[in-house]
Amino acid sequence: MDNKHRRRRLAKICVLAGLFLVASVAAKAAEHTVVIEGMQFAPATLEVRPGDTVIWKNKDPYPHTATAVGGSGFDSGEIKPDRSWKFVAKKAGTFPYECTLHKTMTGKLVVK
């Protein structure tokens, strides 16, 4: 095999490796963050796919919870200031949630 052929073959391998990388990254589950600040969940409504991870990050100086209403899904328990809580969304559906310590704080997680 001469150098020209070798280079071509290497280029083909690189292209295939690149495609494989793109495909595997695309199939990977995503990570989303809900920031809790000023007694609010931001974004208030978050749409994710099954398998995605949702991270609630508490930036307030007091604890909060992210608790699905009616025991339908998840409950973070107390998230202390500067702490976060992770949840992997598995079941599809719409999950309204609230902070059990401050009932005016509400959000919605949509898994589809």
Q: Which residues bind Cu ion (CB under 5 A)?
A: 64, 99, 101-102
32 is in an annotated binding site: no
Nearer to Cu ion, 3 or 104 (CB): 104
Q: How far is the CB of 71 from Cu ion (least distance, A)?
A: 18
Q: How far is the CB of 43 from Cu ion (least distance, A)?
A: 17
- Strand 53-58 and strand 31-37: the pairing is parallel
Q: What's the chain's Rg over C-alpha atoms? A: 21
Nearer to Cu ion, 52 or 76 (CB): 76
| Residue of 79, 85, 89 whose CA lies nearest to 30 | 89
Residue 20, phi then psi, degrees to nearest 5 = -60, -45
Which amino acids are annotated as binding site for Cu cation, given as ranges? 64, 99, 102
